[in-house]
C-alpha cells in the first residue's frame, strides 16, 4: 500500500496513449461479491453488445455461487480471480492488474450495461482531445416500484449540462497509465473509495471526457429500511475517508437549523410554522431538481411527495447514525 492506495510497481506510460480503435482492445473489470443472481444479466449485457477484449471478474469472498456462475462464461472471454474477503477497491485493483489490455472499463456487479455502452465509451475516447485518458459515461436507476421512483426523486443525482450525472466508476473507461499514476483505489474502504480515486485524478491533472450515450442501469435499495442501512454505511465510510465535506456538513447544518426551530416552537408558535414551511420547501426543491430522474412520472403526486419526505428524513437519520458509528470506531464492515 502507498498512502492507502494500491502500488502496482509498474512503469508508467510516458507518452500520450492512443485511443482504442475498437472495443476488442478493452478489458472490462468487475468487482463482485455474492452476486450469483445479478451476474448473468451483467455478463449477458456486456457480451450481447460491443464485444470487449475480455471481462475480468474479481470475486471478493463470495459465499454463494458467484464464482461458479462467472466460470460458466469462460468460453466467452470471462476470467475469474478469487481474492478472498475484499472490498470493491481491492477487486478493481486486482482486475486491472490482471487485465491484458491497456484500456480498462469499469462496471459493478448488480448493474447492467445498456446497448452500445462500451462502444460509446470508446467512441468518446477517440473523439476526445489528444492524450485523453479517462472517459465517464452516464447511469440511471431501474424504476420498478414506487419506492424506486421516490429514491430517484429524493436521492439520485440529476444530470448536468453535459447530459451525464457526476463521475461514476461503474460507467468508466480509464487508461492503465492514469490508473497507475494515481495508485489505483484505496482497498480498506467499503464506500467512498471511488471519490478518493476521482480526487487523485483531478489532482494529477487527468481530466475526463463525458459519454452521455454510455449508460448503465443499477438497482436501488428495495425498501426504506434498506435505504437506511446503505446510507448509514456510506456515511461512516465517507467520514473514514475524510470526506465530510461531500454531504455531512450540509446535513448537519440543515438539521441543526431544524432542531433550533423545533426547540423554539415550545414557547414561540410561529417557529413551528417556519419549521413546516422549511421542510416543505426542502422537499419541493429536491423533487423539482430531480424530476428528470423519473421521466414521464407525476413527480408531485401527493403519495410520491410523502415518500420523498420520508426518504429525506431517513437519509438524514442514516447520516447521523453513520457518523456515530464512525465516532465510536464501529464502522460497519458491509
**Domain boundaries, given as residue ranges, for the chain:** 23-218, 224-327
- Which pLDDT value is given to residue 2? 37
- Cβ-proximal residues to 13 (8 Å cutoff; 6+ apart), any chain: 102, 175, 176, 177
Beta bridge partners of 30: 57
Query: Residue 182 pLDDT > 60, yes or no?
Result: yes
Region 152-158 average pLDDT: 97
Confidence band for 261, pLDDT divided at 50, 70 and 90 = confident
CA distance 235 to 92: 22
What pLDDT band is residue 333 in, cutting at 50, 70 and 90? Answer: low
Question: Is the separation of the CB atoms in 6 and 96 below 8 Å?
Answer: no
Higher per-residue confidence, 267 vs 39: 39
Higher pLDDT, 130 or 3: 130
- pLDDT at position 334 is 56
What pLDDT, on the 0 to 100 scale, is given for residue 7?
46
**Helix or strand (DSSP H, E) at 81:** strand 78-82
Cβ atoms of residues 59 and 81 within 8 Å = yes
Confidence of residue 222 (pLDDT cuts 50, 70, 90): very high
Res. 267: pLDDT tops 90: no
- Does domain 23-218 correspond to CATH entry 3.90.550.10? yes
Distance CA 49, CA 142 (A): 19
pLDDT-based confidence at residue 91 (cuts at 50, 70, 90)? very high
Of 314, 331, 149, 144, the closest CA to residue 231 belongs to: 314
Mean pLDDT lowest for which of 138-142, 177-181, 185-189, 330-334?
330-334
pTM of the full structure: 0.91
As a whole number, mean pLDDT of residues 271-277 equals: 88
Q: Among 164, 7, 188, 219, which Cα is nearest to 87's?
A: 188
Q: Which of residues 271 and 325 earns the better pLDDT score?
A: 325
Amino acid at each position: 500500500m502507498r498512502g492507502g492506495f494500491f502500488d502496482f510497481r509498474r512503469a508508467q506510460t510516458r507518452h500520450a496513449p492512443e485511443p482504442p480503435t475498437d472495443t476488442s482492445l478493452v478489458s472490462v473489470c468487475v468487482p463482485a461479491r455474492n452476486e450469483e443472481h445479478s451476474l448473468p444479466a451483467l455478463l449477458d449485457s456486456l457480451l450481447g453488445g460491443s464485444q470487449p477484449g475480455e471481462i475480468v471478474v474479481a470475486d471478493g469472498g463470495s459465499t454463494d455461487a458467484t464464482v461458479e456462475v462467472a466460470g460458466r462464461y469462460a468460453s466467452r472471454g470471462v476470467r475469474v480471480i478469487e481474492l478472498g474477503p475484499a472490498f470493491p477497491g481491492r477487486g478493481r485493483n486486482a482486475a486491472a492488474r490482471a487485465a491484458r489490455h491497456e484500456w480498462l472499463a469499469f462496471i459493478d456487479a448488480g448493474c447492467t450495461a445498456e446497448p452500445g455502452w462500451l462502444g460509446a465509451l470508446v467512441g468518446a475516447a477517440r473523439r476526445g482531445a489528444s492524450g485523453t485518458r479517462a472517459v465517464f459515461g452516464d447511469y440511471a436507476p431501474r424504476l420498478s416500484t414506487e419506492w424506486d421512483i421516490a429514491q430517484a426523486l429524493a436521492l439520485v443525482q440529476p444530470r448536468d449540462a453535459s447530459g451525464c450525472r457526476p463521475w461514476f466508476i461503474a460507467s468508466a473507461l480509464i487508461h492503465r497509465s492514469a490508473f497507475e499514476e494515481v495508485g489505483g483505489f484505496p482497498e480498506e474502504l467499503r464506500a467512498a473509495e471511488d471519490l478518493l480515486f476521482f480526487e487523485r485524478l483531478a489532482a494529477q491533472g487527468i481530466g475526463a471526457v463525458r459519454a452521455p450515450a454510455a449508460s448503465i442501469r443499477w438497482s436501488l435499495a428495495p425498501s426504506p429500511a434498506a435505504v437506511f442501512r446503505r446510507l448509514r454505511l456510506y456515511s461512516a465510510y465517507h467520514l473514514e475517508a475524510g470526506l465530510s465535506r461531500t454531504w455531512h456538513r450540509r446535513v448537519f447544518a440543515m438539521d441543526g437549523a431544524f432542531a433550533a426551530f423545533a426547540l423554539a416552537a415550545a414557547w414561540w408558535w410561529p417557529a413551528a410554522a417556519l419549521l413546516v414551511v422549511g421542510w416543505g420547501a426542502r422537499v419541493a426543491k429536491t423533487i423539482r431538481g430531480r424530476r428528470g430522474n423519473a421521466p414521464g412520472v407525476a413527480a408531485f403526486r401527493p403519495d410520491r411527495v410523502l415518500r420523498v419526505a420520508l426518504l429525506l428524513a431517513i437519509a438524514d437519520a442514516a447520516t447521523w447514525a453513520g457518523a456515530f458509528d464512525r465516532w465510536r470506531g464501529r464502522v460497519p464492515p458491509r
